[in-house]
Amino acid sequence: MLYDRRLFKCLIGFLFIPLLITHLMPVNAQSAATCGVVDALGYPVDNLVTGYDDFSLYRERFGGNHTGIDLAFDRWGDPIYAAARGLVTYADPDGWDTEKGVVIVSHAFPDGSTIYTVYGHVEQRNGIVFPAVGECVEQGQIIAAVGWPSRGRPHLHYEIRNRLPNDGGPGYVTTNPLDEGWYSPLDFTALWQLRFNPAFMGYITFDLVPTLPPTQLESGTYVVASDNLITAVQPQGQILWRVQTDGEIDGLASLSGDRVVAHTVNGQTLTLQGGRYVAIWTVNSDARPFHVIGERLIFVMPDGSLTSYDPSGLPLWTLASGGEVVYFGSNGTQIAFASRTAGGVVWREVTAEGQVIAEVQLTGTPIVKPLSDGSWFVLDHDRLLHIRGSESEVIQNLMASGQAAQIGYDVNSNIYVYLDDANNTLVALNPTGEVRWRVEYPREGNFTAPLIVAGNTCRLYSLDVDGLLNVFDASDGRVLTQIQLYAGGRRTTRPLARLLRVDAAEQVYVSSGFLTLMFLDGNQLGEASC
């Protein structure tokens, strides 16, 4: 897919010159707003397959990173639709020479931005004719047909960008397209579809796909890890600093004083403040993320022991576990870890100083939800336990759960459990363990646990690995609404980057694990029986 564009073919006869000039001349005097402001954004083809996303993919053949996505493979002649209303700024059947034609539409968005959608490798076929330059088009209007380029199968090359209104463009760039004025088409579309939702409050789009959930510093700055890069981003989206580590980052946490600590798969551990190194040392821990309690960093070592450091790299204590660690988590004040021993699974609670303060025997690998009061909900096969120190209370005997089970709870101590069983059961319990309701979760299990968070009033939220945000009425389990976020297509294999959080004002912080972190007013997400 090389997009070497000819300026013009040789013109045969003066009779054709006015027509060609009208067809190709740039539209500079007209604004996209002439055609109205965008109030809906869709996709340019039917039967969209989002699982294939080659935006920014490096291809050695073309010596650069792809500035768009390729859609509608082997659908030669199928109609292509305008993604939104706008003004045609370019339309040339020979815009990419033997790689076929290009149509560009300019769009005025409600935030005042002007965005261009680009449709490449397109043809005038099956009675479909390109719109004229200067013509207004509406969303869903047929503007071209899928073409058959000379160097590839029939497909549509689709771009969204803020530059080059009168040029098909290069197709590939040697830098990150996000830094050069291009957008990820699928992420951009999903974001704007949500921005038209009354619940939308704001967003931050990062320039690299995070590989861990974003963490927020006291100043409001967000810090994200992407492979071996740590980036600090202001809420307005400006990059403050970026630091490269010696390998992929497998742990990231914020500290007081706008400090951040990170750990890599190679053991490099570093404390940063304002993009500057405060400390750097080596911790050869296992692959799971570390936890922070105050000024204590706690790691699981390959032999199952726990080791603690302060942010300067000073070793503080080590605690032997006696077996394989099958759970490691924190409630903010204590660490809990479960180890598989010869006598079964042992649950232990540990203080920030490394003292074991509680021990409980379990039957298998637990699924755990820390509570704000320092206790824990633990799903141990079919037993839902409430663990307080060394006391363990059976709240309810549930059906056997799967490995993707998940627990949530609300401010009234109601409990919500996705069982990941054969029936995809989502069950709600009152504080004493009585079943309030039981419903079928609105999708099939996929062996990746959804994130489940209860709101402060009467809503329950879950986020699936494919980016589907589900909002339930917490009183009866009814689905109030579902919102499809873009989770990265073929790059959805990193569910650890997902984020779902609800604050005291019912503001929902949600990220599918791809480029954008969004803020929603949960009170606007469907009517609930509050």
Specify the pLDDT at position 318: 96
Per-residue pLDDT tens digits for 388-403: 988 889 999 987 778 8
Specify the pLDDT at position 398: 86
Specify the pLDDT at position 10: 35
Dihedral class, residue 8 (left if φ above 0, else alpha if ψ from -120 to 50, else beta): beta
Per-residue pLDDT tens digits for 229-282: 999 999 888 999 999 999 999 999 999 999 999 999 999 999 999 999 999 999
CA dihedral 301, 403, 460, 507 (to 10 degrees): 30
Specify the pLDDT at position 323: 84
CA dist 99 and 168 (Å) reads 11
CB atoms within 10 A of CB 372: 10
Specify the pLDDT at position 82: 98
Specify the pLDDT at position 476: 95
Alpha helices in 123-255 (DSSP H): 185-195
- Give strand pairing partners of 271: 261, 279
**Residues 6 or more apart in contact with residue 112 via CB below 8 angstroms:** none
In this prediction the pTM is 0.88
Share of the chain above pLDDT 90, in %: 76
CA dihedral 156, 161, 164, 166 (to 10 degrees): 50
CA dist 444 and 415 (Å) reads 22
List the chain residues with pLDDT less than 50: 1-25, 28-29
Enumerate domains of the chain plus CATH numbers.
14-192 (2.70.70.10), 398-530 (2.130.10.10)
Using DSSP, state whether 187 is helix, strand or coil: helix
Burial (Cβ within 10 Å: 0-12, 13-18, ≥19) of residue 364: middle
CB atoms within 10 A of CB 180: 15
